[in-house]
């Protein structure tokens, strides 16, 4: 039988609250605050891989997914209003937080832009630039 860890649950709850507040999550520091030793600060995955931690995170993610679904359902009736913008912002933040907590990627990997090529084209000298350099 796997024993539940109140400390791991407390760490998970604080991680969720920290993410909701938009602050930087320092899992090692949070773990120490909830009774873990300094060695865990170097290896916080030992806490985040526990059953108790995962259950707390799963509950938080499920709650956020419900809220996101509610916001998405309200969006069609709010198009063109200021509340619509708030809903879009809320959905965006909830999606990001869900991705962070569940360990999914927070970036869209299907979009790929060669930044160096774009910058090179943008910074290419024009005929006017060449004239100014030689005239000066």
Number of neighbours of residue 81 by Cβ within 10 angstroms: 10
Burial class (CB in 10 A: 0-12, 13-18, 19+), 87: buried
Cα→Cα distances 109→4, 15, 56, 85, 95, Å: 37, 26, 28, 25, 16
Q: Which helix (H) or strand (E) holds 12?
A: helix 6-20
pTM above 0.85, yes or no: no
pLDDT, one tens digit per residue, over 65-111 is 999 898 888 888 877 777 888 888 888 888 888 888 887 766 665 55
Domain ranges of the chain: 6-135
């Amino acid at each position: 039988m796997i024993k539940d860890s109140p400390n791991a649950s407390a760490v998970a709850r604080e991680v969720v609250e920290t993410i909701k507040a938009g602050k930087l999550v320092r899992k090692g520091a949070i773990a120490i605050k909830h009774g873990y030793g300094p060695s865990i600060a170097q290896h916080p995955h030992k806490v985040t891989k526990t059953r108790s931690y995962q259950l707390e995170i799963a509950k938080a993610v499920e709650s956020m997914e419900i809220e996101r679904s509610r916001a998405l359902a309200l969006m069609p009736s709010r198009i063109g209003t200021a509340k619509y913008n708030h809903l879009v912002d809320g959905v965006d933040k909830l999606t990001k937080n869900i991705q962070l907590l569940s360990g999914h990627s927070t970036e869209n990997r299907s979009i790929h832009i060669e930044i160096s090529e774009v910058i090179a084209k943008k910074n290419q000298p024009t005929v006017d630039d060449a004239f100014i350099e030689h005239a000066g």
